[in-house]
Amino acid sequence: MAVTAGPLGAPINRVDGLVKVTGRARYAAEHQAPGLAHGWVVSSDIAAGRIVRIDATEALALPGVLHVLTHENRPPLAEDDDSYRDEVSPPTSSPFRPLHDDRIRFSAQPIALVVAETPELARYAATLVRVDYERAPHVTDLQAHRGAAYEPKPRMPPPRPRGDADRAFAQASVQVDAQYLAPIEHHNPMELFGATVIREPDGRLTVYDKTQGVQNVQHYLCKIFGYRTGELRVLSPFVGGAFGAGLRPQYEVFLAVLAARVLNRSVRVVLTRQQMFGLTHRPATWQRVALGADADGRLEAVIHEAVAETSRFEDFNEAVVNWSGLLYRCDNARFDHKVTQLDLCTPGDMRAPGAAWGVYALECAMDELAVKLDIDPLALRLRNYADRDLNDDRPFSSKELRACYQQAAERFGWSRRDPRPRSMRQGHALIGWGMAGGVWEAMQVPASARAVLTADGKLSVSSATGDIGTGTYTVMAQIAADALGLPFEDVTFALGDSSLPAAPVQGGSFTVASVGSAVKAACERVRERLLALAGQHAGAGSPVDVLRRAGLEAVEEEASVEPSAALERYSRYAHSAVFAEVRVDEDFGTAQVTRVVSAVAAGRILNPKTARSQISGAIVGGIGMALEEESVIDQAFGRFINHNLAEYHVPVNADVHDIEVIFVDERDDVVNTLGAKGLAEIGIVGTAAAIANAVFHATGRRIRDLPIRPDRLL
C-alpha cells in the first residue's frame, strides 16, 4: 500500500510505546495515595441460593483489618434498575447490584469485601469470613436447556425473512444442514480488573479504573452513589487489554468507591485471575445453518438459527445470525435468534461480538456445501457474491471483498491446493488449506473533541475516549497534525479522563470513525479561526505568527460530530478474506496454524503499522477460538473449573507463526469524513472458520464444536 507524505497514512510508531516498555505507564492498580487501604473480594461458593449467615468476627479481630462490607451493613444506595444501567446495558435489564441482598445469582458472585491496611492482610482475612448458604438448584448447561429458549426483548433483532426459505431448502438439489456449538470464552486481558479510589482533601473522589469508557463508569457511579460529575472523576490513561470486558463497569470499581465512602479514605480493589472468570464472557452459542443450492452452487435457501445463553437477570443478546443474510445473494432466507437463562453472570461483548460465532458457523457451512458440490470454496463464494445488502435492501457505501479474495488467494498460493482431503502432506504431518470471508459493521456514533493551539506552535487535542492497545493516542495525533498541517511531533492527544469532551466507550471498532471525526472537526475550527485572524492582521503567515500578531496565547475550539442522516441510505461494512494453513499430527491429533494470509478492505488506512498490529492480534485471537479457548463448567457446582491461564489456553508465541496482512485499496466517501472503517474486530471474524476448514481439508474430519481439540480429531 502506498504511504502518503503527510502524517496521516504514515506507519508512525506508537507515541505511548516508550512509557509502556520502560514501565513508566501506570495502570489502574498502580496509583498511590497516602493512607491507601486495600480491599479483597469474598466470592460465593454456590451458583444459586441465598446467604443464611455471614460471620466476619475472626477477620475483624485481626489488627489492621478495617471493615468487612456485606449486604447486611452497606449504606443505603440507589434502588432502581435505571441507576445501575450503563451505556451498553441491555435496555430492559435488571443489572447486577453488588452486595445488594442475600440472593446468590452465580458462582463467584462477590458477597463481601474485606478492607485492611495491606493487600496481604486483606487476602488472609478474607479466608476467615464464614458463610452459610441455603442452596438452590442451578442450571448452567446451555445444551441441556436449549428447550427453554425464548425471544429476548430485542436489542439486535434478526433480519426480516425473505421468500420461503424452508420450502426452497426442501426443494434444493444440494443441501447442508449442520449444527455448530461454540463454548463460553473469557476475555483474559493481561491486566487484571482493578480500581484505585483516591479521596481528595476536599472530599472529591479521583477514580483510576480499568475500563473502556471513563464517562460510562463516571455516570454509573454518580447515579448509584449520588455524586455530581464534578465530585467524581474517572481516569484510565492506560489499559492492559480488555477485548470488550471493560465496556461495562465491573464490580471492583463499585466496591472500591463503596469502601472509600464508608471509611472516608482511599481504597484499592484488585481482582484475582480466578475472580475475572466471574465477570463477563462470550456466551456459549448453539447454531444451526441450513444451506440449499442448485447443482451449479447458486444459493436457493439460507436458514440460520441460534440459541445463546444469558443470565437470570439480564437479556443479553448479540447479532449472531444477521451476517448470513448479508454476505451472500439469496432470495429465500430465514433467521432466528433466541436466548436461554442460566445461573451465570451476564455475558457481554467480546471482540467481534455475534459475528465471531455467527460467521464461523456460516463459513464452515459454506465449506461443507463446496465439498458436497465438488466446487472450490473460493469459487462458491464468488458465485454467490452479494453486491447489495439484502437484509436492509440498501447499497454498500463501498465493498472490495472481491479484491480481498483475489489478493489473499494469490498471495497464499490457493491455486496450488489439492482439493482432496488428506491429500497434502509434509512427512508425518497432514497439511490443510482453508479459507473464509469476514464482515464487520463500520459504525459511527456521536463524539466530541477539543483542540488547543498555543503560540509556540504546539497543538493539544483531547477527548474522553480510551486506548486499550489500539493505538488511539497515535492515530488521533496523526489526524490532528494532518488537519492543521503541523509536524506530528508538535501534537499531543489526551484521553482516558472523564472531564474531557464527551466520547463513547471504546468498542465496536468505531473509535476512529467517531472520535477521529470529532478531532478533525475541532482542528478545522481552529484553522478557520486562524484564517479569520490572519485576515484581520495583514502580513501574518504561520499559525504562530498569526497568534503573535493577534496578541493571543492560544486558540481553543471544541467540536461535536454525529453521523449524518445520509448514512442511513447505505450499509457500511469492512470486509476480509482469510486463508489459513494447518499442520495436523496424524498420531496425536494436534493441530498447528502454520500460515495465515488475511486481506482486509476497511476504507482509508490511517496508520498501516498500528492497523497491521490490530489485524495480526485479532488473527491470534481467531487461532485461540479455533483450537484452544474454552471455559469449562463443572455442571454439578455451576462453576468454571479452568479459571486460570494454566488451564484456560490462549495462543502463546509457539502457537503463532507466519501472519501476513494485506490492506486492499478501498475508497469510501460516505462512511465518515475520514473515509476510514474500524479494524479491531474484522481481523478475528472468519479466522476460526478458515482454520476449521483447513483442519477438515487436512484430516477429512469435520469438527463443528469448538475448540478443535486433539481428542476431537483422534
Q: Tens of pLDDT along 382-418?
A: 999 999 999 999 999 999 999 999 999 999 999 999 9
The model's pLDDT over 153-201, given as tens digits with 9 standing for 90+, comes to 876 789 999 999 999 999 999 999 999 999 999 999 999 999 999 999 9
Give percent of the chain with pLDDT exceeding 70: 99
Q: Is the pLDDT of residue 285 over 70?
A: yes
User: Which residues 6+ apart lie within 8 Å of 147 measured at CB?
Assistant: none
Q: Is the pLDDT of residue 2 over 50?
A: no
The cell numbers describing 588, all together, are 496425536
Q: Is the pLDDT of residue 705 over 90?
A: yes
Residue 432 shares a structural domain with residue 506: no
CA distance 254 to 415: 56
Phi, psi dihedral angles at 614 (to 5 degrees)? -60, -45
Q: Is the pLDDT of residue 478 over 90?
A: yes
In this structure, what is the dihedral angle of CA atoms 81, 87, 92, 94, given to the nearest 10 degrees?
-30
Query: If you average pLDDT over every residue of the chain, what do you get?
Result: 96
In a domain, 11, yes or no: no
In a domain, 7, yes or no: no
Query: What does the pLDDT read at residue 155?
Result: 67
In a domain, 6, yes or no: no
Q: What is the mean pLDDT of residues 520-543?
A: 88
Just list the catalytic residues.
681
Q: What is the mean pLDDT of residues 592-604?
A: 98
Write the DSSP assignment of 145-158 as a string of letters: GGGG-B--S-SSPP
User: Which residues 6+ apart lie within 8 Å of 386 measured at CB?
Assistant: 326, 327, 328, 329
- 3-state SS, 669-685, equals CCCCCCCECCCCCCCCC
Residue 520 shares a structural domain with residue 593: no
The cell numbers describing 125, all together, are 482475612
Residue 438 shares a structural domain with residue 452: no
Which stretch of DSSP H or E encloses residue 482?
Answer: helix 472-484
Band of residue 503 on the pLDDT scale cut at 50, 70, 90: very high
Query: What does the pLDDT read at residue 694?
Result: 98
Of 562, 585, 603, the residue that ends a domain is 562
Query: What does the pLDDT read at residue 90?
Result: 86
Residue 602 shares a structural domain with residue 650: yes
In a domain, 293, yes or no: yes
Query: What does the pLDDT read at residue 372?
Result: 98
Helix/strand/coil for 53: strand
The cell numbers describing 291, all together, are 444451506
Strand partners, 580: 434, 596
When divided into structural domains, the chain yields a total of 3
The model's pLDDT over 320-379, given as tens digits with 9 standing for 90+, comes to 999 999 999 999 999 999 999 999 999 999 999 999 999 999 999 999 999 999 999 999
Instruction: Please state, in angstroms and as integers, the Cα–Cα distance from residue 379 to each residue in 291, 330, 414, following that order.
Output: 16, 16, 11
Cis peptide leading into residue 707 (ω within 30°): yes
Mode of pairing for the β-strands spanning 639-640 and 491-494? unpaired
Residue 339 shares a structural domain with residue 486: no
Residue 648 shares a structural domain with residue 606: yes
Q: Is the pLDDT of residue 592 over 80?
A: yes
Of 562, 581, 610, the residue that ends a domain is 562
In a domain, 254, yes or no: yes
In a domain, 66, yes or no: yes
Q: What is the mean pLDDT of residues 501-526?
A: 97
Q: What is the mean pLDDT of residues 239-268?
A: 97
Residue numbers of the domain that contains 450: 17-24+445-562
Which stretch of DSSP H or E encloses residue 380?
Answer: helix 377-383
Q: What is the mean pLDDT of residues 646-662?
A: 97
Nearest Cα residue to 113 out of 41, 44, 45, 36: 41
CA distance 268 to 257: 9
Query: What does the pLDDT read at residue 5?
Result: 61
Asked if residues 479 and 610 have their Cβ atoms less than 8 Å apart, the reply is no
Q: What is the mean pLDDT of residues 6-34?
A: 96
Residue 266 shares a structural domain with residue 299: no
The model's pLDDT over 126-155, given as tens digits with 9 standing for 90+, comes to 999 999 999 999 999 999 999 999 999 876
Write the DSSP assignment of 647-705 as a string of letters: TS----GGG--EEEEEE-----SSS-TT-B---TTTTTTTHHHHHHHHHHHHHS----B
Q: What is the mean pLDDT of residues 300-321?
A: 96
The model's pLDDT over 22-43, given as tens digits with 9 standing for 90+, comes to 999 999 999 999 999 999 999 9
Residue 84 shares a structural domain with residue 206: yes
The one-letter amino acid code at 398 reads S
Query: What does the pLDDT read at residue 199?
Result: 97
Query: What does the pLDDT read at residue 1?
Result: 38
Q: What is the mean pLDDT of residues 673-702?
A: 97
Compute CA 378 distance to the chain's CA centroid, rounded to the nearest angstrom. Answer: 29
Residue 398 shares a structural domain with residue 301: yes
Q: What is the CATH number of the domain that holds 471?
A: 3.30.365.10
Residue 437 shares a structural domain with residue 449: no
The cell numbers describing 351, all together, are 471482540
In a domain, 2, yes or no: no
Query: What does the pLDDT read at residue 157?
Result: 84
Write the DSSP assignment of 222-278 as a string of letters: HHHHT--GGGEEEE-S--S--TTTTSSPPHHHHHHHHHHHHHTS-EEEE--HHHHTT
Residue 529 shares a structural domain with residue 418: no
Q: Is the pLDDT of residue 510 over 60?
A: yes
The model's pLDDT over 193-248, given as tens digits with 9 standing for 90+, comes to 999 999 999 999 999 999 999 999 999 999 999 999 999 999 999 999 999 999 99
Residue 458 shares a structural domain with residue 372: no
Q: What is the mean pLDDT of residues 690-713?
A: 97
The model's pLDDT over 70-84, given as tens digits with 9 standing for 90+, comes to 999 999 999 999 999
Q: Is the pLDDT of residue 473 over 80?
A: yes
Band of residue 3 on the pLDDT scale cut at 50, 70, 90: very low
In a domain, 10, yes or no: no
Of 562, 583, 610, the residue that ends a domain is 562
